[in-house]
Amino acid sequence: MSLVPETTRRALRKAEATSGKLKRAATSRGATLAAFIIAAIWTLPTLGLFISSFREANDIKTSGWWTAFANPSFTLENYAKALNSGDSLTLSKAFVNSLAITIPAAVVPIILASLAAYAFAWINFKGRNTLFVAVFALQIVPIQMALVPLLQLFSDGVQIGGLYILPGLGVNGLEGAYAKVWIAHTIFALPLAIFMLHNFISEIPGEVIEAARVDGAGHGQIFYRIILPLAMPAIASFGIFQFLWVWNDLLVATVFTSGTELPITKALQDLSGTYGQSWELLTAGAFISMIIPLLVFFALQRFFVRGLLAGATKG
Amino acid sequence: MSDFFQWLAGLPPLAQVPIVLVVFIALIGAVLFFIEYATRPGRGYTLLRLLVTVLVPAAVLLLFGLYNSVLWVAVLAAALGGVLFIIDYRSRQGSGYFLQLIAFMAPAMLLLALGLIYPALRTLMNAFITNDGTKFAGLDNFAWVLTSPDGLTALINTLVWVLVAPVVSTAIGLAYAVFIDRSRGEKFFKLLVFMPMAISFVGASIIFKFFYDARVGEQIGVLNAVVTAFGGQPVDWLGLEPWNTLFLVVILIWTQAGFAMVILSAAIKGLPAEQLEAAELDGATPWQRFWHVTVPGIRSSIIVVLTTISIASLKVFDIVSAMTGGRSDTTVLAFEMVRQFQLGGRSGFSSALAVVLFLLVLPIIIYNVRSLKKQREIR
């Protein structure tokens, strides 16, 4: 079962079958040239930085990276230096922080969202459509609007007339505490996650669920034994999405982490501010920060594209 | 709760991950267990429902940690739980129905209410209060956005971002998707343009900082190397007002064109081949076929791509933060908002900026909600 709607898939198969006939029409020489130029412009900046990251510090500063083809001399020293760079927080420590932030922040919202998505899809209640549209609309409320009050909420809790309803999290200034950034990422991911997973879960055939109900399963079992396994492709797609999003995020991390818990994006940004001209550190550091997302991207590309299509063709 | 997080903070970062996940999954397991047994008839199950509705709200509050009013709040929560039990018990759909619904929805909905709706409303209020939080300020903060150099620059630049980035990325993505459609090595070509999507804005910014680099003597940035090769003087691209904002927009275009390309490419492949063939038989030129058959056929996908990238460009923060830090008049709403708060603690200004951002996004929300409503009516 895939996320792409059946009509699109049918059309895809048809397009593949007739592609031979149209080949000559679609690829003219000018088009191919234009495609080459776009592809070159899109790869050149990354390639330049990548080659530079292996050059000697002095070479980077005095000659363009393209001269490295004429007189090649490469080193891994930049990477060793970059991993230990940074004033209070080394890049290697920030890398570990990123992992510690990203994994829970990708898993938790998906599970919470799939519970809500199931209820939206398969449990009837008054005001279901209105509530669903409201959740969808939240998706586009800029998280900037929520950042500062949420930060205050984490430290002060909820009070009504001086009476505490909920206390704060009590982790302010505590070293090694990721609770704030986990919760923040979870909350900000929920609207999109609920929307995407609902699209998928509501398309699971009703007969399957009805059959399970006849066999005496309650909603708990149906969710665990039927919905979760069937929705795995959708869950995986969104998981990769969320993983990349959290790993690459700077804004939420800037607001909700500090000191020794900063993720790699923030460490890299600080590096680019304080060592703005230390290109040997910046080039290597940038690629260290890209390793995980690029690995995830190349290994799980199929799921990623499916997720994109589901989010977009329905949205 | 806070005790748990404090204990967790003492552990090494990577040891925290499995512990949090195990605890979380155990909690979800308990919720599913309750859902499974909630609707069953019989005295035992009714007792289970009663216990859960009364004890869980109170226990959650007690677990949060001890503070002055906790007992009262816990008692109140237990009483509300009891009321909930009675409402559910007499519900028309059978007892337990309402409770299982709440168990499914409550975690996500509570988090959204507490973490998104309530904060957004607070920001809306703060926008009308002075920076020190003492007095009602009327529209003063919005006047500041429209008249101060920082606020006005941020607003104008954001408009530039949202006008340029979506159109250009979509155009490039569409052109590329058409050019490589059914060509040899299509997958590889797609990957080249798609890859920037996996790179963070901070990483992309460093890539382009290097690309734009300007210095005395031999150039190491590609752009200035080209300029000097043609006999020009090296240009400090990022300090070149007012064009520097456009050089930052290029970075967003670079990351988003791949997204546009993937979506539009799939849409093009979904077009019925007969239409294109018919147009070809009628003697339409490739350009006419593209403009009169392909583009109308993928119209809805184009709109989705445009709105998605518009939202991304309205909210852009990372690129400005990592490239210029807002210097040389490159600031945008989302960046200025964080800067006003972090540097000066000016919560009034910062909230007003956030509200302006919301107003800019609002038309897109309305459009999307409308089309979603239409979709759900068709179902």
The distance of A161 to chain B (nearest Cα, Å) reads 12
Which of A100, A116, A142 comes nearest B361 by C-beta?
Answer: A142
B260 touches B174 (CB < 8 A) = yes
Q: How far apart are CA B350 and CA B332, in angstroms?
A: 12
Q: Domain for residue A261, yes or no?
A: yes
The residues near B267 (Cβ < 8 Å, ≥ 6 apart) are A313, B297, B298, B301, B302
Examine the fold and report which residue of A34, A59, A79 is the final residue of a domain before the chain moves on.
Answer: A79
Per-residue pLDDT of chain B (379 residues; tens, 9 = 90+): 677 888 887 788 888 889 989 999 999 998 888 888 877 777 878 888 888 888 887 777 777 665 666 777 777 888 888 888 888 777 777 777 788 888 898 889 989 998 888 888 888 888 888 877 778 877 888 888 888 888 898 999 999 999 999 999 999 999 998 888 877 778 888 888 888 888 888 888 888 888 888 777 777 788 888 888 888 788 888 887 788 889 999 999 999 998 888 888 888 888 888 888 888 888 888 888 888 888 888 888 888 888 888 888 888 888 888 888 878 888 898 888 888 887 777 888 888 888 898 888 888 878 877 877 776 666 5
Residue A276 pLDDT grade (very low, low, confident, very high; cuts 50, 70, 90): low
**Other CB atoms within 10 Å distance of the CB of residue B10:** 12
B134 touches A141 (CB < 8 A) = no
Name which of B33, B35, B288 to mutate to probe chain A: the one with the most chain A Cβ atoms within 10 A of its Cβ: B35
A167 and A284 belong to one structural domain: yes
| Domain that includes residue A47, residue range | 23-79
Q: Which of residues 128-187 of A touch B (CB under 8 A)?
A: 129, 132-133, 135-138, 140-150, 152-153, 157-158, 163-171, 174-179, 182-184, 186-187
Burial of B338 (0-12, 13-18, 19+ CB in 10 A): buried
Name which of B45, B206, B226 to mutate to probe chain A: the one with the most chain A Cβ atoms within 10 A of its Cβ: B206
List C-alpha distances in Å: B97 to A120, A184, B88, B157, B200: 14, 31, 7, 52, 45
Q: How many residues can be counted in chain B?
A: 379
A181 and A56 belong to one structural domain: no
B13 touches A100 (CB < 8 A) = yes
A270 and A174 belong to one structural domain: yes
Tell me if A22 and B183 make a contact (CB, 8 A cut-off).
Answer: no
A35 and A162 belong to one structural domain: no
Q: Domain for residue A3, yes or no?
A: no
User: What is the chain B residue with the closest CA to A305?
Assistant: B262
Which residues, in sequence order, are bridge partners of residue B136? B129
Q: How far apart are CA B114 and CA A17, in angstroms?
A: 52
Q: Does A216 touch chain B (CB under 8 A)?
A: no
Q: Domain for residue A5, yes or no?
A: no
A96 and A184 belong to one structural domain: yes
Tell me if B65 and A167 make a contact (CB, 8 A cut-off).
Answer: yes
Examine the fold and report which residue of A79, A102, A123 is the final residue of a domain before the chain moves on.
Answer: A79
Q: What is the DSSP string of A123-158?
A: ---TTHHHHHHHHHHHTTS-THHHHHHHHHHHHH-E
Q: Domain for residue A11, yes or no?
A: no
Per CB-CB distance under 8 Å, the chain A contacts of B211 are 45, 48
Per CB-CB distance under 8 Å, the chain A contacts of B13 are 96-97, 99-100, 176, 178, 261
Per CB-CB distance under 8 Å, the chain B contacts of A21 are 273, 277
A49 and A175 belong to one structural domain: no
Tell me if B28 and A111 make a contact (CB, 8 A cut-off).
Answer: yes
A139 and A270 belong to one structural domain: yes
Q: How far apart are CA B1 and CA A169, in angstroms?
A: 8
What is B142-378's CATH number? 1.10.3720.10
Residue B336 identity? E
Residue A3 pLDDT grade (very low, low, confident, very high; cuts 50, 70, 90): very low
Q: Domain for residue A221, yes or no?
A: yes
A172 and A157 belong to one structural domain: yes
pLDDT at residue A20 greater than cutoff 50: no
pLDDT at residue A27 greater than cutoff 70: no
Q: Domain for residue A1, yes or no?
A: no
A53 and A107 belong to one structural domain: no
The distance of A121 to chain B (nearest Cα, Å) reads 11
Q: Which of residues 234-253 of A touch B (CB under 8 A)?
A: 244, 247-251
User: What pLDDT does B253 receive?
Assistant: 93
Q: Which of residues 80-119 of B touch A (CB under 8 A)?
A: 100-101, 104-105, 107-109, 111-112, 114-119
A68 and A91 belong to one structural domain: no
A192 and A303 belong to one structural domain: yes
CATH of the domain at A252: 1.10.3720.10
User: What is the chain B residue with the closest CA to A262?
Assistant: B13
Examine the fold and report which residue of A60, A79, A98 is the final residue of a domain before the chain moves on.
Answer: A79
Number of folded domains in chain A?
2
Residue A86 pLDDT grade (very low, low, confident, very high; cuts 50, 70, 90): low
Would the ipTM clear 0.90, i.e. be above it? no
Tell me if A312 and B111 make a contact (CB, 8 A cut-off).
Answer: no
Per CB-CB distance under 8 Å, the chain A contacts of B305 are 312
Q: Domain for residue A58, yes or no?
A: yes
Nearest C-alpha neighbor of B294 from the set B169, B182, B195: B182
Q: Domain for residue A2, yes or no?
A: no
Residue A160 pLDDT grade (very low, low, confident, very high; cuts 50, 70, 90): low
- The domain locations on chain B are 2-126, 142-378
A206 touches A172 (CB < 8 A) = no
A218 and A176 belong to one structural domain: yes
